[in-house]
Amino acid sequence: MSASGSSTSSPGLVTLDWGTSSQRAWLLDDGGRPVDVRRADRGLLSITRDLDGADPAELASAYEQVFWTTCGDWLEEHPGLPTLACGMVGSRQGWREAGYRTVPASLELSAEDLTTVEHRAGVAHLVPGLRVPTVTGGAPGDVMRGEETQVVGILDALRDRERSRTLVLPGTHTKWVSVRDRKVMTFTTSTSGELYGLVLQHGILGRTARPGVPDEEAFRRGVSAGSPPATRGALVELFGARVLVLEGRLEPSSVPDYVSGVLIADEVAHLLPTVADPGHVVVCGAGDLCRRYAAVLSAVGVDADVVTEDATVRGLWKIAVSTGLASAGREGRTT
């Protein structure tokens, strides 16, 4: 019996995108197509919260239990199915530390790149993160964990894969990733998404902000305030939202859009000049955020492509194939 109900495919892989606050799991068929999908608030924080100071074995046991809660029935029904997971599950506070590959790093992973961890019915394979090493006496380096799998998926989805590109992945920690010859050459993280949440949820601006409909004009005003040459920097321009509300020039419900504009404009102003190929920018993520980034980039003459597909599951499948966990023979979803 096939879980998909289809007579032409059979289950081929259990995959997980297991992050800080949530966990997503897919049962893929032997062509990489999702047969079943689950989403749960079973991220690292929910697991480590009560295990501060626990020994590694105790922590691993807690992860194994959570893994089994999500995926156990798939593995009971299909014994021996390989499992591949990416994200913070491979961090120091995760199930097992999966290390980092150092840039420049190929997007074609091999079997020895993966870290394995045992569970009650076999092993799970963990995808390593990527790192830019710190230069002693120079700039701090960078790290990512989970986004490297998203990058593999995005590259697979794009035509002209050999082209040198800058991928922008908006999120809590937005990643600007430089890709060339199917390698990640370098990348930079911005905390703009996290600061947006902090300012509005816990900050003084959040006290007067009110929920409301999206206000494109407020976003554009924020972008203008956060953009060179007139900007006085995000730290100053954020306060502008408060002044404009006091003056009756900005609705309290439009404060989030203004703040979003200031932060994205500040980030683009700093990072666009640092990328190797500003002429080929691809923004990948949730639709609304992608549109905001594309608008800010357009204002400085960059015509970015937008990919709103959730590319992580596609990346997990590609990694499973390149590492030999799955076979490419029946692949049906890639171009």
Interface contacts to a copy of itself, rule CB under 8 A: 20, 92, 133-134, 138-143, 172-173, 188-192, 194-195, 198-199, 201-204, 225, 230, 232-244, 246-247, 249, 263, 266-267, 269-271, 274
Smaller CB separation from a copy of itself, 215 or 267: 267
| DSSP letter (8 states) at residue 134 | P
Angle between helices 255-271 and 216-226 (to 10 degrees): 40
Q: In what order do the strands lie in the sheet with 100-102?
A: 100-102, 129-132, 142-144
Q: Is 223 helix (H, G, I), strand (E, B) or coil?
A: helix
The position carrying tokens 């690292």 is: 44
- Cα dihedral across residues 70, 37, 149, 134: positive or negative: negative
Q: How far is CA 265 from CA 90, 137, 259, 301, 325, in A?
A: 32, 29, 10, 13, 42
Residue 257 CB burial class (10 angstroms; 0-12, 13-18, ≥19): buried
- The smaller minimum CB distance to a copy of itself, of residues 182 and 202, is found at 202
For a copy of itself, give the closer residue by CB, 120 or 249.
249
When the beta carbons of 25 and 130 are compared against a copy of itself, the nearer one is 130
Provide, rounded to whole angstroms, the least separation between the CB of residue 44 and a copy of itself.
10
Minimum gap (Å) between residue 127 Cβ and a copy of itself = 17
Q: Least distance in Å: CB of 265 to a copy of itself? A: 11
Q: Which is nearer to a copy of itself, 1 or 235 (CB)?
A: 235
CB of 157 to a copy of itself, least distance (A): 27
- Asked if 149 and 284 count as a contact pair (C-beta separation under 8 A), the reply is no
Alpha-carbon distance of 93 to 89, in angstroms, equals 8
How many residues would you count in the chain?
Answer: 335
Both tokens assigned to 19? 């992050």
DSSP per-residue string spanning 46-78: HHHTT-TT--HHHHHHHHHHHHHHHHHHHHHHS
Q: Which residue, 188 or 254, is less far from a copy of itself as judged by CB?
A: 188
Name the residue nearer to a copy of itself (CB basis): 143 or 295: 143
- Which of 267, 118, 283 is CA-nearest to residue 192? 267
Q: Closer to a copy of itself by CB, 182 or 207: give it.
A: 207
CB of 239 to a copy of itself, least distance (A): 4
Residue 43: which of 120, 146, 127 has the closest Cα? 146
Least CB distance to a copy of itself at residue 61 (A): 22
- Token look-up 């074609």 returns 108
CB of 89 to a copy of itself, least distance (A): 16
Minimum Å gap between C-beta 161 and a copy of itself is 28
